[in-house]
Chain A
Amino acid sequence: MAENAGGHRLGIDVGGTNTDAVILDADQAVVAKHKASTTADVVGGIVEAMGAVLDASGLAPGDIGRVMLGTTHATNAVLERRELATVATIRIGGPATKSVPPLSTWPDELRSVVSVGEVIVDGGFEFDGQEQVPFDEAALEAFVSGLDVVPDAFAVSSVFAPVSDAHEQRAAEIIRAHHPDARISLSGAIGSLGLLERENACVLNGALMNVAASIVAGLEQALSHHGLSATPYFAQNDGTLMAIDRVQQFPVLTIGSGPANSMRGAAHLTGLSEAIVIDVGGTSTDIGVLAAGFPRESTIPVEIGGVRTNFRMPDLLAIALGGGTIVGDQATVTVGPESVGHRLTTEGRLFGGSTLTVSDIVNAAGRASFGSYPIEVAAGTVDAALDRIDSMLEEGLDRMKLARSDQPVIAVGGGSVIVPSSLEGASEIHLPENFDVANAIGAAIAAVSAEIDQLFSIEEEGREAVIEGAKQKAIDAAVAVGAEPAETEIVSLEELTMAYMTDNVLRLRIKAAGPLR
């Protein structure tokens, strides 16, 4: 087995600004790291980062057993409408749901690039798993065989698929009978409750099938370039990993993996599993929450490229504060929202430029020391700007906390030197070693997970038994995607209230995770 060839892991995180790489040893300690600007040729950048970190480590290719890649390929493809596959959209939900047809909320230009046809056929389930109406297989057959253009992918979404995906599975069989090589996305495996958002995510997933093929090919190319026989994995947006076969099925789940990786890396670097993570970049800061070592997930829909989706994304608060954020020193001192971004190293005063930035302020104040030019800023300006920076961080911290008590804070990311040693609301502030490559470290930590989100009737079994059964279901699902059974645990459990419902029904969102087998 390739996994046994070497005990080291190589993690790469391709971000909007930087491509970071690390190698961890068998004890998950950092052996080597490398940071470079993300290039237009992303795969070239991956090849280079992999080579540089291998050189820095002094290890042989055979020492690397696994390679993990977190990348923005999919995000960029959606935002830039590039490399998108064509999709036929099938909703199994009629006669319900016809009042809002598939893709009706999509931007027209995106819809015209992606969609070759949409249909609503009768079928789907009730919240308790009973059939809403029988699945109209003949209507699906007619749609599939009547398509003028054979699409690259089919996206199938049925009403209450998170409760039962039987109609989606049957639809996949019917599609395959007509198009044996069809790539098929089923919504039940992608999103949670909320048909329109889940359907959108499912169609985006179909549209990303070509991107999936190219990122897999890119990583394999990078591996063979360096003579690595390591097993490749991809980071997904809950801070866990997918094997190659899964990324080809679920490329949409790589969207948002960057912030999730940073948070997982922060947990690993400090050993903390409950904390608030402040990830500071050049232009903005993401504040997220670690719960049981994983990013707390957003419960509200997330918009990507103008499309509302509801797949699991880290719950993040982005604030316009980074190392390159511009400080105004007119009558009143202002911080942001504009930033010089990656031009900090030419435009910031500490690098000989003429723009006053947050980095200049923290250096002038002695909070950090980098750059090559002395900073001369009026003391009043420094104090006022620091006050503003700290109160922006404090307000962000407070907005992300779920409880009043002070909580530990972990600062990571290239710009995290701007974070002070104490903040109101923080019980302690950690600035761990290797903070600047926390994202690549997060990618290299090998965990896998699964989530369920369903409504359960507690009429017969009672609440306790229902919750226990649901937990086991989540654990089984995590094991099915590669988690080590003995070490798989529930990492989040949300019990949601159901207003205006007389039946005794619970909505449970449960996630289980464990280390890769």
Chain B
Amino acid sequence: MPKFARVITIGEQELEWLSLGAAVFGAGGGGDPLMGTLMAQQAIRTHGPATMVGLDTLDDDDLILPVAMVGAPTVMVEKFMSGDEGDRIRERIENEIGRKVAALSSAELGGVNGVIPFAWAATSGLPIVDCDLMGRAFPELQMTTAAVAGVDINPVVITDERGNLVSFTTATPKWAETLVRTVVGAMGGEASMCLYPMTVAQAKQAAILNSMSRALEVGRLLHEAEDDPVGALCAAVEGFPLVVGKVTDVNRQTTEGFAKGSATIEGTGADAGRTLRMEFQNENAVLFEGDSVVASVPDIITAVDVHTARPIVTEQLRYGHRVSILALPCDPIWRTDEALAVVGPRTFNYDIDYIPVEELNG
């Protein structure tokens, strides 16, 4: 039996673990998962637990619907979902494609989108597939393994709490990004969506498999770890602890939907004397030591609390935080030239070649 052919029941406790794990893979972005977690927990209280299944439990021809919230997490703390959005999107897709959806999936493992699909899964009774399209958080709709694998993003359906629904047919995933953002703005800054509807057979090629159960296990481990949580986390995710130190400076600015900036980390203990700079664009993008690159996108750079190993999102980074900066190798699917053209350092305006974190720090 392949290890992903299994069924996991996702109750309120599992949601807590998932939200922690999803924040580790969120690379500092993806938004605070709290609202998504509360929504999913409420849906589970009302409708019963959600079910997460491996791809092999489904038929190759079954239709999978990746879903997500899109827009500003800052808006979602005030105006969050009605709870009907998931069903409305799914019904529209089923009408357009003329087939039933067999399972939902997360489009993005990271922050709020690591947990929100479970709200819709619990509500609809459909299972969630143990995979996603990023293996981490990324800021734009074309930055998916599905786009790299050539899966059609269409139809893209977005809806708001009022019942406004727009179905897009877009020329490219990048166009979907542009058009969806415009409508999301008109809807009040956040909305619910689906994208890249695909068959199980396609997902086996185009998705990052087992990523959700991995996040669940990482979250559980963080929840339970007592001695050396950072070490336990690194072991679990094959991560590289790049520096232990103190945040001594944080610069931020917002431009065109990106919270850009950098944090300076001065090493302490065994790392005393080292100074690193972590640059972020919603997510952490590149870690520099002087002029040298220590880690970069698409590898996952995450700041965690040095004592508890709890991940710290970029919005919460501030002077005095004691952090350990980890880099997790991204899924190999991201390391081809085609994929790096979509999510490599140059797409974030860094004129550097991507070198895998294990080569930089081997």
Chain A residues packing against B (C-beta within 8 Å): 93-101, 104-105, 124, 126-127, 132-133, 159-160, 193-196, 300, 398-404, 455, 496-503, 505, 507
- Cβ-based interface call for B57 (8 A): no
In this assembly, does B315 line the interface, its C-beta being within 8 Å of a C-beta of chain A? yes
Q: Is B161 part of the contact surface with A, judged by Cβ < 8 Å?
A: yes
Closest to B43 in A: A99
Asked whether, in the complex, the Cβ of A126 is within 8 Å of the Cβ of B71, the reply is no
Partner of A99, one of B82, B188, B256, B257: B82
19 contacts between A and B (CB under 8 A): A95-B161, A97-B81, A98-B81, A99-B80, A105-B38, A159-B79, A160-B78, A195-B79, A196-B77, A403-B319, A404-B249, A455-B74, A498-B254, A499-B29, A500-B139, A501-B72, A502-B184, A505-B189, A507-B74
B75 within 8 A of A: yes
Are B72 and A97 in touch, CB under 8 angstroms?
Answer: no
Minimum CB–CB distance for A507 against chain B, Å: 7
Q: Which residues of B61-116 have CB atoms within 8 Å of chain A's CB atoms?
A: 70-75, 77-84
Among candidates A98, A195, A500, residue contacting B78 with C-beta atoms closer than 8 Å: A195
- Min distance, Cβ A304 to any Cβ of chain B, angstroms: 17
Residues of A contacting B292 with CB < 8 Å? none
Q: Are A132 and B162 in contact (CB under 8 A)?
A: yes
Which residues on the A side are within 8 Å of B282 (C-beta)? 499-500
Q: Which residues of B contact A95 (CB under 8 A)?
A: 82, 84, 161-163
Docked Cα-Cα span, A498 to B72, in Å, equals 7
B142 contacts A by Cβ under 8 Å = no
**A500/B72 in contact, CB under 8 A:** yes
Chain A contact residues, majority secondary structure: loop
Measured between beta carbons, the chain B residues less than 8 angstroms from A502 are 181-182, 184-185, 256-257
Residues of A within 8 A of B315 (CB): 497, 499
The reply to whether B82 and A96 form a contact with Cβ atoms under 8 Å apart is: yes
Residues of A within 8 Å of B80, CB to CB, are 96-97, 99-100, 195
What's the Cα separation between A26 and B249 when bound, in Å?
Answer: 43
Q: Give the 4 A-B residue pairs with the shortest CB-CB distance, closest first.
A: A96-B161, A99-B83, A499-B259, A501-B72
Q: Which residue of B lies closest to A425 (CB)?
A: B320
Question: Does the CB pair A104–B42 fall under 8 Å?
Answer: yes
CB of B253 within 8 A of CB of A96, answer: no
Cβ–Cβ contact B74 & A498, under 8 A: yes
Question: Residue on B with the closest CB to A404?
Answer: B248
Contacts between the two chains (Cβ within 8 Å), count: 137
A417 CB to nearest B CB, Å:
26
Contact across chains for A500 and B248 when beta carbons are under 8 A apart = no
Whether, in the assembled complex, B119 has its beta carbon less than 8 Å from a beta carbon of chain A, the answer is yes
**A498 and B79 form a contact (CB under 8 A):** no
Complex: chain B residue closest to A126, CB-CB: B188
Contact partner, A501, options B42, B45, B74, B83, Cβ 8 Å: B74
Q: Are B252 and A501 in contact (CB under 8 A)?
A: no
Question: What chain A residues lie within 8 Å of B74 (beta carbons)?
Answer: 193, 455, 496, 498-499, 501, 507
Q: How far is the CA of A89 from the CA of B77 in the complex (A)?
A: 19
| Chain A residue with Cβ nearest B283 | A499
The residues in B between 259 and 281 inclusive whose CB is less than 8 angstroms from any CB of A are: 259, 261
A94: nearest chain-B partner, CB-CB: B82
- In the assembled complex, the Cα of A132 lies from the Cα of B189 at a distance in Å of 12
Q: Taking the complex as formed, is B39 at the interface, i.e. its CB lies under 8 A from any CB of chain A?
A: yes
Cα distance A501–B43 in the bound complex, in angstroms: 27
Tell yes or no: B31 within 8 A of A by CB: yes
Say yes or no: A99 contacts B81, CB within 8 Å.
Answer: yes
Determine whether the beta carbon of A100 is less than 8 Å from that of B39: yes
Assembled-state Cα–Cα distance A162/B362 (Å): 51
Cβ A193 vs Cβ B82 within 8 A? no
Name the A residues within 8 Å of B185 (CB-CB): 502-503
Partner of B42, one of A93, A99, A300, A499: A99
Pair A503/B83 contact, Cβ less than 8 Å:
no
A398 to B266, CA, bound (A): 13
Of residues A124, A196, A498, A501, which shows the largest number of chain B Cβ atoms within 10 Å of its Cβ? A501
Whole-angstrom distance from the CB of B184 to the nearest CB of chain A? 8
Residues of A within 8 A of B139 (CB): 500
- Bound together, the chains give a CA A380 to CA B123 distance in angstroms of 64
Q: Are A402 and B318 in contact (CB under 8 A)?
A: yes
CA distance A399 to B323 in the complex (A): 12
**Contact of A501 with B319 in the complex, beta carbons under 8 Å:** no
Q: Say how far B195's CB is from chain A's closest CB, in angstroms.
A: 16
Complex alpha-carbon distance, A97 and B35, angstroms: 10
The answer to whether A500 and B249 touch across the interface, beta carbons within 8 angstroms, is no
Identity of the chain B residue whose Cβ is nearest the Cβ of A105 in the assembled complex: B38
Of B70, B184, B189, B249, which is within 8 A of A126 by CB? B189
- A500 near B257 with CB under 8 A, answer yes
Q: Which of B17-55 contact A (CB under 8 A)?
A: 29, 31, 35, 38-39, 42-43, 45
Distance in Å: Cβ of B25 to nearest Cβ of chain A: 17
In the complex, the answer to whether B119 meets A99 with C-beta atoms within 8 Å is yes
* Contact of B258 with A by CB under 8 A: yes
Whether the pair A499, B258 counts as a contact (CB closer than 8 A) is yes
- Asked if B38 contacts A98 (CB within 8 A), the reply is no
Residue of B whose beta carbon sits closest to that of A130: B188
- For residue B28, give the distance in angstroms from its CB to the closest CB of chain A: 10
Q: Which residues of B contact A500 (CB under 8 A)?
A: 31, 70-73, 139, 257, 282
Shortest C-beta distance, B188 to chain A (Å), equals: 4
Given the interface pairs A127-B75, A503-B189, the reply to whether A133 lies near B162 with Cβ below 8 Å is yes
Min CB distance, A311 to chain B, in Å? 15
B72 and A499 contacting across the interface, CB-CB below 8 Å = yes
Find out whether the CB atom of B320 lies under 8 angstroms from the CB atom of A401.
Answer: yes
Residues 119-158 of chain B: 1 if any A CB is under 8 Å from the residue's CB, otherwise 0?
A: 1000000000000000000010000000000000000000
Residues of B within 8 A of A497 (CB): 252-254, 259, 261, 315
